[in-house]
Structure 1
């Protein structure tokens, strides 16, 4: 499998007027187009389920992958409209260390819960039973292929896809109808200065890299003595490595916009993507094999190297101190 075709770096402007210009470019070139794509692809997903909600439907599975791809391209933008109403969590409840998603889906199916019959009532069900990861269980997990409940599960698939699209459309509308202007043109109650807008984007970029290294790669790696391949993200639909690649490609684009094409950072992104391209382990099943595990660890280190360059080289030039912690903003 080759991913480089799925899959831009960082120098730096110090002047606030340049940072403000970058904020507008980030909104116009990165955020709005990617949320427009998510809106469009989730609409197609909902339409595909409406036409044929059977898990084995090829059109539905194709639409699922395209819509999920679009989500991974914006999954790092966990601020603004995606935070409102827990929309991001409703789209993507993962990691799920307690196995809440299959339990929540099982309860809905067992009780033939009528909550799926109306948008408002479905929005009130457990967040673990909504979004892409819940949909993956219904489409790909053998445990959810009971012929006796097939009709209800089909309706549940349709309800989940419609809920996904409603949330995606609401996030896009939030960005286009006001929030985008707040970030693009700092000097308002949300972003009082260009520095604050830059820090918000820098945090999203840094946290996205951290999530790839520590969660998307770290969870299946586990420890050398206790690897955890079954913890790989979206493994049932074969998307674990694909998510890392798609995320890195999107983060690379954002990195190029937040500054002015730093060659060192871009080389780090290129190396990580090349390592991912050579991995040939779509669900990280090889983490228990020492030779194959080494290649996954090398990819993880490449992602951490990108974040180090971002923190130690780019951040200070943007007025963000080296060692900035994206998890607490310090």
Structure 2
């Protein structure tokens, strides 16, 4: 009888313990698991998406230059937009292969407050030196004429549109060279991440013999810093010029009408990486209010179109002002840097846009 009661009591205890464990939140990820999740579920898929989006770009330029048809022009604009949107998802990953050899500036020379793209492109079109359009030669020129912003100018220029006419001949050679250069850059970035011994391996095998990451914490910090850079890029470069008239900065890819899409893709990408990192899982119960505040902030950030209007996918009943969203984004950046990262045992420190 005693044995039966003991077994019954033990069974009851096990059920209660199992139920309690089911109610407990999962343990926060380790720093290495955080870095691995970010790399495998966010960074590499988005890098691969950029490489895939860029692949048909040279053919689209060639088709316009051969035919000059409206359909070919529309296809080129669509292909270009696909590359720009894919780039928006990795713009803030300014370390590793994107940082090496200045690939980020070569791929997308923006912001450009001094108008280097227009100036350098104007000189290039004036000189008409066909040698720079030969394979590998454009990479030796100014970064301002190597990537997406320069190609955008050529695509959107209505005075001398791309096509088979003689006035457009050099422009077509240059446009094809830029498109091929974009393919080269995106391929190099992808290979730099994924090749054996590449940046993925470097981040996921930290240690004393690693020349960049001595610990898993350093790998995790790198990704968190990228998230903070993303907040800075979106807030300070896309939103702040709208609330501070003293700042004169052309919105990204405005000539192609992609400003709103670029903003939407930027914030959606940041939100995805934020969720992937699971920083909120480190919060103590008395700081759980930050989760609710962050959710409200993401709703605000995603409820505007980045150009002073309301987003079609807005979740808030009202439309927040650009000022509110800018302030909330700064608040979220500060919480990630000074509260969530600290709770996770990560020392973030300085990021590349601090002090700008």
TM over 0.5: yes
The residue aligned with 2:176 is 158
For the residues of structure 2 that align with 1:27 and 1:170, how far apart are their CA atoms? 17
**In structure 1, the residue corresponding to 2:84 is in which secondary structure?**
helix
TM-score (norm 2): 0.77
The yes-or-no answer on 1:299 pairing with 2:322 is no
CA distance in 2 between counterparts of 1:279 and 1:154 reads 36
Match of 2:199 among 166, 179, 189: 179
- Alpha-carbon distance, 1:227 to partner: 6.7
Q: CA deviation at 1:256?
A: 1.3
SS in 2 for 1:237: coil
Q: Deviations over 1:159-216 (max 9, x none)?
A: 1111011100100000001211111332222211011011111111001101111112
**2:137 aligned with 1:121, yes or no?**
yes
Q: 1:24 aligns with which of 19, 36, 52?
A: 36
Paired residues in the alignment total: 304
Q: 1:195 to 1:74 in 2, by over 3 A?
A: same
1:241 is aligned, of 251, 260, 263, to: 260
Aligned counterparts, 1:278-317, within 5 A: 279-280=308-309, 295-317=321-343
Partner of residue 269, structure 1: 298
Deviation of 1:295 (Å): 2.5
Matched, 1:132 2:148: yes
List alignment gaps of at least 5 residues for structure 1. 1-10, 283-291
Structure 2 gaps, min length 5: 1-24, 282-290, 312-318
Superposed CA deviations along residues 73-106 of structure 1, whole A, max 9, x for unmatched, are 0011010011111111100111112111111111
- Please tell me whether residue 216 in structure 1 is matched to residue 228 in structure 2: no
Q: CA deviation at 1:143?
A: 5.9
Corresponding residue for 2:219? 197
Of Structure 1 and Structure 2, the greater helix share is in: 1
Q: 1:255 matched to which residue of 2?
A: 274
Are the aligned partners of 1:24 and 1:185 in contact in 2 as well (CA < 8 Å)? no
Equivalent residue number for residue 8 of structure 1: none
Give CA-to-partner distance per residue, 1:243-275, whole Å, 9 cap, x none.
222111111111112225563334422221023
Larger radius of gyration: 2
Which residue of 77, 86, 89 corresponds with 2:102? 86
Q: Which residue of 2 aligns with 1:4?
A: none
The alpha-carbon deviation at position 61 of structure 1 amounts to 0.4
How far 1:43 moved relative to its partner? 0.4
What is the alpha-carbon root mean square deviation over aligned residues?
A: 2.9
TM-score by length of 1: 0.83
CA contact (8 A) 1:49 1:161 kept: yes
